[in-house]
Structure 1
Amino acid sequence: MPFAQSRQNPTSSFRKKLTYLAALSATALLLSACSPADNEYSVAQSKTVAPSPAGAPAMDSVVSKPEAQRRRSNNISAEVQELSRQAAPAPAAASPAQDAPAATAAPQRFLAVRHELQIEAPAADLAGLWGAVKERCEQLDCQVEASALQRETSHSAGGAYLTMRVNPRDFAMLTSAIGGNAKVLNHQTSSEDKTGEVIDVEAQIKNRSEYRDSLRELLREKDVKRKLTDLMEIRDTLSQVQAEIDAAQAQRKVLEKDTGKQFVHMQFQPQQVVLSGTYNPWLQTWERAWNAMAGSAQSMVIATAALLPVLVVLGVLGVICVFVFKGVRRSRKSATATATATA
């Protein structure tokens, strides 16, 4: 029994050493993966602290293979970083003030916006509301293009309208004058993108202006001798180009008017009063019968009045025909009597 224990002791000690060395190598590998700068120091320390015994020849291969793989991977990563550094262009030093406009700059759009409002108000307040909105427009960046007011009479209802051009930022302040007993029944908004037209007109103005300036430079050259026909042709071309520039500038002003301010049309109408009461079918029947009889009598009077001049003319012609017929008859009777007396 003591002999058996003495034979098992070298094997157990070898296994303990092998396990200890394997743990140290695993720790060294973990440390090399976490901090590449200390890999050589950690491997050397593991080798000096736990030298490999004669019975463990595989320890060098366990430590050397990860070390070779680490060095090879480090070399490859260093080469990749060097190539990427050489291929990448040097970053230009740009100030934030220069980058901010480039990031936030957006193409400007030119929109022609139209507002159509239908407003209802009590008949007594219609004229005052119309005047209040018109006065508010004169106080803002707004222009009244057309206006009309029709007061209520016994034969016609009242009404009014306003046509204006208002700055977009003042539209809310303009509509705030509609308060009180008035209410907006309908509000329609439409927009038309005229960015392309504006860009085309501005490009045309720029190109034709440059052409005009070049023609003026030709006329100012004194060293070059030209014929009178050439000078007249240059002047005619210059006049034509200037006319095209003036037409383009006029079109640009119209576009600026359409896109710079919004078109607003307000239609004011009196409030409709609905009378509530009990429903009586017989009353409505008699009312309809009376209205029908009154309408028929009205039609007869109108027809008689229309035919009266014709009847008068026909009566006069009839009286004339009767007198003529009587005269002819008398003359025949007298002629017959004379012929009988002579016989």
Structure 2
Amino acid sequence: MEDAVLPKSFRYFWVAVVLCAGCAHKAATYQKATGLSEGEGGQVSSADYARVARLGLSGAGGGGGAVLAASRFVAVRHKLEIVEPGSGLAQSIEAVVAFCGTIQCEVLSSSVTNETAVLSPSGNITARVAPQDLNKFLDFVGKQGQIARHATESEDKTAAVVDVEAKLKNQTEFRDSLRRMLTKPGVSVADLLQIQEKLAEAQAELDSEATQRKVLANETEKVYVEIVFHAEQRTISRGSFASVGEALRDFGSVLGDSLAALITAVAAIIPWLIVIIPGLWFLTKAIRRFRERRRAAKAATPAA
């Protein structure tokens, strides 16, 4: 009877209070499950994104769908340049590769360039590291030498992940429906062949999308790290007569280069001399004849 006496507005007020309390409880449950605080919005690290994604996929706490819808998938990349003495560069690269095997880390590639007369020693390592072991890995890399450069890049892959997962879901349902059609009685041979052809196409596309999803998971659940090693450039002091010594050492090579240039010039001129010398001889002879005829003409004019 008391409920009948209560005004409708008062009852609506209590209904609103109950709904607000339920929303606050869900928000608190989400923060507890994901490990994110309310003040961290917009500053979530890649480790937090990976943890939220894993909770969403596993359906932790019975709210996996809500967590997956609120998660983001971010691909994080680190690029480092390490400068260290050239004598221990190869050992540093081997140490980093060995340390990678002790944590959740996968070495994608590694290379070492030995010192030569024209090249200084250098090396390169690319790896994928789990977010929880990233700081350990970077700290160990920093101990191998001086960090000359450290750049960080991130790319949001959420749209690509959502698109691939939607295609996987639709393609899986389409494949299952085709399989059910094969089990139905009374299917003709022509229809059976057509269904099997469509089933093979659906399975191939499904495998392709599954591979793409694994690639995206590898990019977003692990951090890509690229490390470039350079040998330290040492400055050598020059003495007062260092330039004189260099000139004496280069005397033979400079003399050889000059002789080579002279021989090349002579070899280039010889073919032209075959044409130029006879031409000059005929030209000189023609000029002499012209002058003799002119003198003869002048001498004959007064006599006439």
Task: Specify whether residues 180 and 239 from structure 1 end up closer, same or farther in structure 2 by C-alpha distance, changes over 3 A only.
Answer: closer
2:29 corresponds to: 101
TM-score, structure 2 normalization = 0.63
2:112 corresponds to: 149
1:183 corresponds to: 146
Out of 201, 217, 236, the residue aligned to residue 275 of structure 1 is 236
- Following superposition, the deviation at residue 274 of structure 1 comes to 1.7
Q: Say whether residues 1:251 and 2:212 are aligned partners.
A: yes
Q: Please give the root-mean-square deviation of Cα atoms over the aligned residues, in Å.
A: 3.7
Distance in 1 separating the partners of 2:144 and 2:189: 76
Distance in 2 separating the partners of 1:265 and 1:95: 44
Contact 1:147 1:163 in 2 (8 A): yes
- Following superposition, the deviation at residue 87 of structure 1 comes to 3.5
Contact 2:92 2:144 in 1 (8 A): no
Q: Say whether residues 1:236 and 2:197 are aligned partners.
A: yes
- Following superposition, the deviation at residue 155 of structure 1 comes to 4.9
Distance in 1 separating the partners of 2:263 and 2:128: 52
1:206 corresponds to: 169
C-alpha distance after superposition, 1:24-64 (max 9, x if no partner): xxxxxxxxxxxxxxxxxxxxxxxxxxxxxxxxxxxxxxxxx
Contact 1:164 1:265 in 2 (8 A): yes
Task: Specify whether residues 307 and 218 from structure 1 end up closer, same or farther in structure 2 by C-alpha distance, changes over 3 A only.
Answer: farther
Task: Specify whether residues 152 and 283 from structure 1 end up closer, same or farther in structure 2 by C-alpha distance, changes over 3 A only.
Answer: closer
Contact 1:122 1:181 in 2 (8 A): no
Q: Say whether residues 1:137 and 2:100 are aligned partners.
A: yes
Out of 67, 81, 86, the residue aligned to residue 118 of structure 1 is 81
- Following superposition, the deviation at residue 292 of structure 1 comes to 9.0
TM-score, structure 1 normalization = 0.56
Unpaired segments of 5 or more residues in structure 2? 1-5, 33-65, 275-304
C-alpha distance after superposition, 1:169-196 (max 9, x if no partner): 1111112223557100001111111011
- Following superposition, the deviation at residue 249 of structure 1 comes to 0.4
- Following superposition, the deviation at residue 139 of structure 1 comes to 1.0
Task: Specify whether residues 283 and 131 from structure 1 end up closer, same or farther in structure 2 by C-alpha distance, changes over 3 A only.
Answer: closer
1:84 corresponds to: 9
Task: Specify whether residues 173 and 299 from structure 1 end up closer, same or farther in structure 2 by C-alpha distance, changes over 3 A only.
Answer: same
Largest Rg, 1 or 2: 1
2:40 corresponds to: none
Task: Specify whether residues 86 and 235 from structure 1 end up closer, same or farther in structure 2 by C-alpha distance, changes over 3 A only.
Answer: same
1:263 corresponds to: 224
What one-letter code is carried by the residue in structure 1 that aligns with 2:10? R
What one-letter code is carried by the residue in structure 1 that aligns with 2:128? R
For 1:315-330, list aligned pairs within 5 A: none
Distance in 2 separating the partners of 1:204 and 1:174: 36
Task: Specify whether residues 180 and 174 from structure 1 end up closer, same or farther in structure 2 by C-alpha distance, changes over 3 A only.
Answer: closer
Distance in 2 separating the partners of 1:193 and 1:253: 16
Distance in 1 separating the partners of 2:199 and 2:215: 25
What one-letter code is carried by the residue in structure 2 that aligns with 1:213? D
SS at match of 1:139: coil
What one-letter code is carried by the residue in structure 2 that aligns with 1:152? E
Task: Specify whether residues 192 and 98 from structure 1 end up closer, same or farther in structure 2 by C-alpha distance, changes over 3 A only.
Answer: closer
2:188 corresponds to: 227
Task: Specify whether residues 186 and 209 from structure 1 end up closer, same or farther in structure 2 by C-alpha distance, changes over 3 A only.
Answer: same
What one-letter code is carried by the residue in structure 2 that aligns with 1:200? D
Task: Specify whether residues 303 and 112 from structure 1 end up closer, same or farther in structure 2 by C-alpha distance, changes over 3 A only.
Answer: farther
- Following superposition, the deviation at residue 291 of structure 1 comes to 9.2
What one-letter code is carried by the residue in structure 2 that aligns with 1:124? S
C-alpha distance after superposition, 1:263-302 (max 9, x if no partner): 1111111111123468x6x976x68977997775454455
- Following superposition, the deviation at residue 114 of structure 1 comes to 1.2
SS at match of 2:112: strand
2:90 corresponds to: 127
SS at match of 2:89: helix
Aligned pair count reads: 229
Contact 2:171 2:202 in 1 (8 A): yes
What one-letter code is carried by the residue in structure 1 that aligns with 2:78? H
- Following superposition, the deviation at residue 158 of structure 1 comes to 1.2
Question: Sequence identity, in percent?
Answer: 31
SS at match of 1:196: helix
SS at match of 2:148: strand
